[in-house]
């Protein structure tokens, strides 16, 4: 799959909420794919203190995410054709979310996120290698 743009996220999530987060993310992934995203992945940290970097000094994901005791570190990404495609897909998703926020059940769900949004890192990235 050739892609030109990726939204990336790093965030700590309390382990006790991983099941809830996974369900929420699965729903979001289906929504983003419905609106045109090429791919959607949510990944939970497994080897977050790698030793095999040839002696190079590196910053680890936990150093970036600053998890609290009992948190898992997640890395997530959404793949798009281009930055313009990302803009169109995200606009559709936001319009949908705005309509859904009028539903009290959905609004309550969104207000009780299983993680602290202030601790999430997010950015858009141009793909420079796609083998």
Could you read off the pLDDT of 16-74 as tens digits, one per residue? Answer: 999 999 998 999 999 999 999 999 999 999 988 877 667 777 888 888 889 999 999 99
pLDDT at 102: 82
Pairwise CA distance, residues 38 & 10, whole Å: 20
Q: What is the pLDDT of residue 29?
A: 94
Examine the pLDDT at 128 and tell me if it is beyond 70.
Answer: yes
Of 42-51, 83-92, 112-121, the range with the highest mean pLDDT is 83-92
CB 83 within 8 A of CB 124: yes
Q: To the nearest whole number, what is the mean pLDDT of the chain? A: 88
Domains contained in the chain, CATH given? 5-45+60-126 (3.30.70.100)
């Amino acid at each position: 799959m050739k892609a030109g743009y990726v939204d990336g996220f790093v965030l700590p999530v309390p382990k006790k909420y991983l099941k809830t987060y996974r369900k929420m993310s699965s729903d979001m992934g289906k929504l983003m794919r419905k609106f045109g995203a090429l791919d959607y992945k949510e990944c939970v940290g497994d080897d977050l203190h790698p030793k095999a970097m040839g002696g190079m000094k590196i910053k680890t994901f936990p150093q970036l995410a600053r998890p609290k005791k009992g948190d898992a570190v997640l890395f997530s990404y959404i793949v798009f054709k281009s930055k313009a495609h990302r803009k169109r897909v995200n606009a559709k998703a936001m319009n949908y979310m705005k309509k859904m926020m009028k539903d009290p059940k959905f609004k309550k769900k969104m207000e009780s996120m299983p993680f602290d949004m202030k601790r999430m890192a997010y950015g858009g990235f141009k793909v420079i290698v796609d083998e």
